[in-house]
Amino acid sequence: MPYTPIVATLGYVLSPDASRVLMIHRNARAHDQHLGKYNGLGGKLDPHEDVASGMRREIREEAGIECGQLQLRGTLNWPGFGKGGEDWFGFIFLITRFSGTPLTHNPEGTLEWVERTRLLELPLWEGDRRFLPLVFDADPRPFHGVMPYRDGRMLDWSYSRG
């Protein structure tokens, strides 16, 4: 059977001094799979988009800002992650420069600047605690991870750098 994941982007916007990260607190929709959790910004890729264009569009839609500089930090394969067990494949970006003033909220929740040093203290998906350090580390090589889920729980985690 062919592997046909939902292709998505996930971006972490750094403040101008690089000390904080713009996160969304998913607190607006009662039936949100992510309700109560903090997450980066992003979403599904449209059929006509390359991944960088898709990331820029998602940041514009969710935060009201324009990406000035994107850095691909890695890719993640999330088999079984979706609400109905769908497979997801994500391109993870660090946005190091942007223009505009970020929104304070959107239909999914509240946008908050969080100190980078406090990220892992937030209510996150279990798996985010594994890959987030790779997004912000000094290694210039992108990471490529696999993180299977079943029934909303991470089963395993592995990655390589290339």
Which three-class secondary structure string do you get for 54-65? HHHHHHHHHHCC
Instruction: State the Cα–Cα distance between residues 81 and 139, nearest whole angstrom.
Output: 27
Count up the domains in the chain and report the number: 1
Is the per-residue pLDDT at 35 higher than 90? no
CATH of the domain at 20: 3.90.79.10
Identify whether 20 is part of a domain. Answer: yes
Per-residue model confidence as pLDDT tens digits over 43-94: 999 999 999 999 999 999 999 999 999 999 999 999 998 888 899 999 999 9
Identify whether 35 is part of a domain. Answer: yes
Average pLDDT over residues 136-154: 95
Identify whether 154 is part of a domain. Answer: yes
Identify whether 1 is part of a domain. Answer: no
Residue 42, domain extent: 6-161
Identify whether 98 is part of a domain. Answer: yes
Identify whether 155 is part of a domain. Answer: yes
Q: Which helix (H) or strand (E) holds 13?
A: strand 6-14
Query: What does residue 156 show for φ and ψ, rounded to 5 degrees?
Result: -160, 170
